[in-house]
Structure 1
Amino acid sequence: MTQIDWIILIGTLLFIVSYGAYKTKGSKNVTDYIKGGSEAKWWTIGLSVMATQASAITFLSTPGQAFHSGMGFVQFYFGLPIAMVVICLVFIPIYHRLKVFTAYEYLESRFDLKTRSLAAILFLIQRGLAAGITIFAPAIILSAVLGWNLTMLNIIIGVLVIIYTVSGGTKAVSVTQKQQMAVIFGGMFVAFYLIVSYLPADISFSKALKIAGASGKMEVLDFSFNLDNRYTFWSGIIGGTFLALSYFGTDQSQVQRYLSGKSIKEMQLGLIFNGLLKVPMQFFILLVGVMVFVFYQFNASPLNFNPTATEIVKNSEYSKEYEVLENKHKDLEILKSEANLKYGNNLDDPILVKEIQHLNLLEKENRETAKELIKKADADAETNDKDYVFIHFILNNLPRGLIGLLLAVILSAAMSSTASELNALASTTAMDLYKRNVKVERTDAHYVSMSKWFTLAWGLIAILVACFANLFDNLIQLVNIIGSIFYGNVLGIFLLAFFIKYVKSNAVFIAALITQAIVILGWWQDWMPYLWLNLFGCAVVMFIAILIQGLTKNNNKLNS
């Protein structure tokens, strides 16, 4: 990190924080603070919805996911456009007609207070955890790579977000997210251009795609029905649709983004804009990861991208064995580079494809052996290095100034998602729990003040979660796993409310409690890939609620 990198990084972050606080200071009523005055245009809604979902995890983990597993992860998002259409036609008109501040208000009008409170509490649990992870994700990776103090990074990111989110509420989140998305898109396009320009002179972009394809990185679609495959066309279309319906239709961090819209039309256009742009955006980010993979076919890469794990094993009794694996890795890289250069000049040679695939298999086995050594050196060491791939490329290959810009991209994404989450957590706590259970009538100014205090409190909780979190298999998967455990159940409650009118509150409440226990057990016992938990949870709560309601109705008939 040079002086110019520090100037760009700090300047970008301070501008976003100060601009957001300045532009939105002085919200005097609840409508202004929680719904942004209900005056947002469709493009603001669309960018805000996208920025809320596109956390730092997206820009750290997704390229690493593509580096290791290829483009198949994009199937995860195939259900999103379908969900956007359903939400525009069903959810938005109901929310707008009832003039709700949170999604869970509707559940009280349809069922009762306890059902509303349960749905709100389920949201607070999963989103509170997720808020901590969106802070923790960039912090742990930057601390490992740059040597910065992890706890201090967690606190800095959290405090920066708290400053403008407490100050301006929903409007501050929406205003700053436009700047953050500009930084994010600009940085990613620059990174992509540079990666392609760093390839050997006779390897064009089209040849790079062919080289990636030879290594199996361009296999976008998997139509198999194998449940062992986490990402398939069917899990994306079915499980992804239910996850997106739950997330965008019932998660207050997203609902609050479009409830700030000026009209139904602006809200709907904002979500359609997100639905049309989201899949291409994720495809592009994955493609960046694939191009990083191609780059490392012709340039040296570490045996393990996590520098902390490498340091652990090199300072242990297994250092000599690890050195042998590193030397083997270097030899394999030379052979791979030669084979890929030959293939780049003779793209129709199936023998070269087989050679490349064989060398990839040997490299993978060598990397797995290295991970086993790291675990022997320290059982608690994190051997998974997917989340470190892209940041390693940034720090070791980009020119001065652009390193600061890409770090600003990562931290901006962390701030945008965390701001939306804190804003939604505070709104739900204030409106669904505090206001609804306080018997004394209070002024608007009081609820604005309490919303700010709740924002501060959730910000501190998120920082604490970040400080005590541990790195999971892959951070982008961790966030989606947490969501999938809760989302299906909540979505089922809303679908019962919308479409199954004869089901009453007690049946839904009991079914939701039972379903949540079943889904947690199913995840713990690994019954199915996590994406299917969304459909499973939704189906189970609806089935149990309908069953309980039917039994209750029959009992009433027998007793009458």
Structure 2
Amino acid sequence: MTFLLRSLCTLLGLLAIVGPAAAAEALQWSTLPALPDKHGFAAPFAGVSGDALIVAGGANFPDGYPWDGGKKVFHDRIFVLNAPDGSWQVSATRLPAPVGYGVSVTLPARNSVLCIGGNDATGAHADVFEIVQTGGKVSLRRELPPLPSPATMACGALLGNVVYVAGGENGGTTHRRFLRLDVSAKAPAWEELPWPEGAPGRMLAVAGAREGKFYMFSGCDLGSLHPDRRTYLQDAWAFTPGTKTWKRLADLPHQAAAAPSPALAVGAAHLLVLGGSNRPFVEAQHAARPALDGAGVEHPGFPNAILAYHVLTDTWMTCGEVPRPAPVTTPTVEWRKRTIVPTGEIHPGIRSPQILAGVAKPVGKDFGVWNWLVVAAYLGGMVWVGAYFSRREQSTDNFFRGGQRIPWWAAGLSIFATMLSSITFMAIPAKSYTSDASWYIGQLTILVVVPLVVFFYLPYYRRLNVTSAYEYLEQRFNLATRLVASLSFILFHVGRTAVVIYLPALALEQVSSIDVMTSILLIGVICIIYTVMGGIEAVIWTDAVQAIVLMGGALLCLWLVFSRVDGGVMAVWQTAQTDAKLFQSLTADLSIRPDTTSWVVIVVAFFFNSIVPYTSGQDVVQRYVTTPTENAARRSLWLTMWLAVFCSAVFFALGVALYAFYKDRPELLDPGLVNNDGILPFFIMQQIPVGLAGFVIAAIFAAAQSTISSSLNSVATAYVTDFHARVVRPGNPDRANLQVARIIVVVVGVAGVVLACVMARSDIQSMFDVFNSLIGLTAGPLGGLFALGIFNPRANGRGALLGALLGFLAVAGVYFSKAPVFGPLYALIGFVTCFVTGSLLSGLFPRDVAKRA
């Protein structure tokens, strides 16, 4: 025993000191056809119109180097590239005047490249015009107002349909000016916004746009601090349009003036700044060639390090390099899933016609044989359980209720695992990682929900000895109510199955080279096999194993994160306090907007999200009737309640700990991580040794499969009990019904797999938010029906059915109108609408219609 304890301690110690991964390269670079001008240009306009890449204007020295007396020449030509492998065309249309150093923004809604300001040899411009390509022809459009005053070398970016422009220079003075233009307005006009307090004016800054915020990085000031030279800036700022406020961010690791702008939004939460110039570099070049002011053919080229800013943790890291020679004073353009850096200045006075194209480098790591062996052992074990119990699944009572011989603790673990799912395992840590742990207070509503179920709902289910929860609705109301409720449950769980198949597939894709479609098929097919063989007994016993594996994996991850943050648990706590990652954001208002921080709204919304599945979900209610006695069912619910309270805390803590870990070590973040829901599997493959990583990935599979198998079996139970045996084939032999149940498991499982494949190709940022909206949309009125039957003795079948219909319509109306409502409130809307209108409408019908189950 002593030897085993020492071995375990040694293993845990080794896990805590496993070496970190190196910072990842953010982009993979290639080149497109060079511009048909041997000199290239500095500071052209560039963007996309008519699905073609457009580069226009700019400046160069065509007659010789500036130190040899060459003069800067501004241009008005427009170049068009219709395909990445095509050739450049020079348009017959010209710019209104030769110009460069302006801001250019692609406007997808207007199919144009918006060109703002700039300068020529005589000074700065205030002109604003659009370049438009339609039908292969280029034209200019002058429908938008000019700048309030001339400006050049500003930076700008697009948020929605609003163009933001910051800084700039005119007549040797840098601007402290921030403007925006809503191009979708009926009468667009420039609006002046506040400049960040204490920030110097600047030119040659780098703009950025991400998650509804405008960013401004670095730049140069021509103020009074150094009247004989530029002041290179290292600060960073973020502007929130809704509040019109700026926030000072962490400074850049070094100055990056004149870097291509705007910064690239890559992955789930990074902005990349590509190269740029800085004061130490400029001074070193000046010292090397003072007679040429640092220029000359011996100039090594501008710094090419790529800086990555992580918008969640407010941290910077270096992640690769721009291919040399690295350009400055040029825009960036997103075109056909590539980031284009067209032409630009590569040495002082020297341009290049090169067109760089970068694509985000995917996160990928070989899963490894040992990890696969662990996952295979787990999956094989689940199939074995199904085969083991298949020997006694010879009746629908065994297939649906396990012969009522399930121990209370196994039923409790099964309920817990069913409600947990991969949504909890991955999306709750992602939620607290990206925002905070405030939603944990919503999980505590289980402390109210379970007593309600134990004392008010459970006695009905046990006394009536139901197989399907919806049998109660027929005895209390009528057959139509039963069938409508059962059908809504079935449809919801087909969708839910798709969601929880998709999430572990995402986890696997994030950490290995296996395609998400392959993963979906693997997870879905294994689950279908053991569910169709072993019935509810296989489902419950695999749930029990999966609950243990799942929590073991979560606790292992949490311990590893704590052990790898300098300062351990206390350092995580300090970061959580300093960065408001706990409950600091909670307020006492009653706002129901999507980003509400009202603790009242969160608690109420999550109460209804919890009470719906615990009172009206066949997948949960079915567990209540698998135990030998009602007392055993009660004990299973008490176990579920305390497990939910503890384990939810673990998952929210895990997300906060991951935030603290990556804030402490930002170089370990990978800009290629395309979805924040993948942060946990990313950590697993990056930080957990081979073999144990397989165990934690198996835990993610376990979280998914416990929910999937429950959905498959409960949908089969609902269909056979409520439809097939009751309406379609009443009196059908039990063995035939059992065969139908197995067929339904396969059909629903395949449908869930297909929907998961569709979901994998859609843009869904947070599956936890989506799931909470979905459950309210389809299940809220269902919970209202059961509450109506239990708590309102005057309610009758026709009133209840109309109430449920109005509940569905109310939720659908809010959802499809895109009303700004907190997603988890959909369950409350459906539940309350059904209960209130069902109660009122029941009064319109004779009381003898009402029944009491």
Question: Does TM, scored on the shorter chain, surpass 0.5?
Answer: yes
How far the C-alpha of 1:24 sits from its partner, in A, is: 4.3
The 1:306/1:254 distance shift into structure 2, 3 A limit, reads farther
Letter in 1 for 2:830: G
Take 1:60 and 1:306, find their aligned partners in 2: how far apart are those partners? 18
Take 1:152 and 1:515, find their aligned partners in 2: how far apart are those partners? 38
The 1:230/1:76 distance shift into structure 2, 3 A limit, reads farther
Take 1:478 and 1:471, find their aligned partners in 2: how far apart are those partners? 11
Take 2:687 and 2:543, find their aligned partners in 1: how far apart are those partners? 28
User: Are 2:521 and 1:155 aligned?
Assistant: yes
Check the 8 A contact 2:399/2:535 in 1, yes or no: yes
Take 2:568 and 2:729, find their aligned partners in 1: how far apart are those partners? 69
SS of alignment partner, residue 297 of structure 1? helix
Check the 8 A contact 2:551/2:647 in 1, yes or no: no
User: Are 2:811 and 1:519 aligned?
Assistant: yes
Check the 8 A contact 1:74/1:279 in 2, yes or no: no
Aligned mate of 1:300, from 659, 666, 671: 666
Aligned mate of 1:227, from 592, 600, 618: 592
Aligned mate of 1:423, from 705, 709, 713: 713
Take 1:266 and 1:306, find their aligned partners in 2: how far apart are those partners? 49
How far the C-alpha of 1:81 sits from its partner, in A, is: 1.6
Residue correspondence of structure 1 range 83-232 to structure 2 within 5 A: 83-200=449-566, 203-219=567-583, 222-225=586-589, 226-228=591-593, 229-230=595-596, 232=598
Letter in 2 for 1:544: T
How far the C-alpha of 1:2 sits from its partner, in A, is: 2.4
Check the 8 A contact 2:677/2:765 in 1, yes or no: no
TM (normalized to structure 2)? 0.54
Check the 8 A contact 2:450/2:638 in 1, yes or no: yes
CA offsets, 1:286-325, max 9 Å, x none?
Answer: 1111111111122135776554x4xxxxxxxxxxxxxxxx
2:733 counterpart residue number:
443
2:421 counterpart residue number:
55
Which structure is larger by alpha-carbon Rg, 1 or 2? 2
Aligned mate of 2:694, from 404, 408, 414: 404
Take 1:81 and 1:236, find their aligned partners in 2: how far apart are those partners? 15
CA offsets, 1:125-170, max 9 Å, x none?
Answer: 1111001111011113422442212222111111100111001111
Take 1:252 and 1:231, find their aligned partners in 2: how far apart are those partners? 32
Take 1:7 and 1:287, find their aligned partners in 2: how far apart are those partners? 30
2:779 counterpart residue number:
487
Take 2:731 and 2:597, find their aligned partners in 1: how far apart are those partners? 51
1:465 counterpart residue number:
755
How far the C-alpha of 1:66 sits from its partner, in A, is: 1.2
User: Are 2:333 and 1:41 aligned?
Assistant: no
Take 1:488 and 1:301, find their aligned partners in 2: how far apart are those partners? 44
User: Are 2:778 and 1:499 aligned?
Assistant: no
CA offsets, 1:44-66, max 9 Å, x none?
Answer: 11110010011112111111111
Take 1:471 and 1:18, find their aligned partners in 2: how far apart are those partners? 37
SS of alignment partner, residue 212 of structure 1? helix
User: Are 2:822 and 1:529 aligned?
Assistant: yes
CA offsets, 1:525-558, max 9 Å, x none?
Answer: 325212222222222112222332333459x9xx
1:549 counterpart residue number:
842
TM (normalized to structure 1)? 0.81
Aligned mate of 1:474, from 753, 766, 787: 766
How far the C-alpha of 1:248 sits from its partner, in A, is: 0.9
Letter in 1 for 2:592: L
SS of alignment partner, residue 844 of structure 2? helix
1:456 counterpart residue number:
746
In the alignment of these two chains, the number of paired residues is 477
| Structure with more relative contact order (C-alpha pairs < 8 Å, separation 6 or more) | 1
Check the 8 A contact 2:776/2:828 in 1, yes or no: no
CA offsets, 1:87-139, max 9 Å, x none?
Answer: 11111110110110011010001111111000011111111100111101111
Residue correspondence of structure 1 range 324-339 to structure 2 within 5 A: none
1:287 counterpart residue number:
653
1:414 counterpart residue number:
704
Take 2:617 and 2:379, find their aligned partners in 1: how far apart are those partners? 27
2:55 counterpart residue number:
none
Residue correspondence of structure 1 range 246-265 to structure 2 within 5 A: 246-265=612-631
CA offsets, 1:146-195, max 9 Å, x none?
Answer: 22122221111111001110011111100111111121122222212211
1:378 counterpart residue number:
none
Take 1:290 and 1:93, find their aligned partners in 2: how far apart are those partners? 40
SS of alignment partner, residue 486 of structure 1? helix
2:180 counterpart residue number:
none
How far the C-alpha of 1:23 sits from its partner, in A, is: 3.5
User: Are 2:724 and 1:434 aligned?
Assistant: yes
Check the 8 A contact 1:235/1:531 in 2, yes or no: no
Letter in 2 for 1:58: T
SS of alignment partner, residue 277 of structure 1? helix
More strand by share: 2
The 1:230/1:420 distance shift into structure 2, 3 A limit, reads farther
User: Are 2:678 and 1:388 aligned?
Assistant: yes
The 1:235/1:79 distance shift into structure 2, 3 A limit, reads farther
How far the C-alpha of 1:405 sits from its partner, in A, is: 1.0
The 1:216/1:236 distance shift into structure 2, 3 A limit, reads same
Letter in 2 for 1:131: T
Check the 8 A contact 1:20/1:175 in 2, yes or no: no
The 1:500/1:100 distance shift into structure 2, 3 A limit, reads same
More helix by share: 1
After TM superposition, the structure 1 stretch with the greater mean CA deviation from structure 2, 20-29 or 43-52, is 20-29
After TM superposition, the structure 1 stretch with the greater mean CA deviation from structure 2, 386-395 or 24-33, is 24-33
Take 2:793 and 2:487, find their aligned partners in 1: how far apart are those partners? 24
Q: Percent identity?
A: 24
Take 2:698 and 2:615, find their aligned partners in 1: how far apart are those partners? 30
SS of alignment partner, residue 157 of structure 1? helix
2:611 counterpart residue number:
245
Take 2:708 and 2:763, find their aligned partners in 1: how far apart are those partners? 18
RMSD, aligned CA:
2.0
Residue correspondence of structure 1 range 362-377 to structure 2 within 5 A: none
How far the C-alpha of 1:257 sits from its partner, in A, is: 2.0
How far the C-alpha of 1:208 sits from its partner, in A, is: 2.1
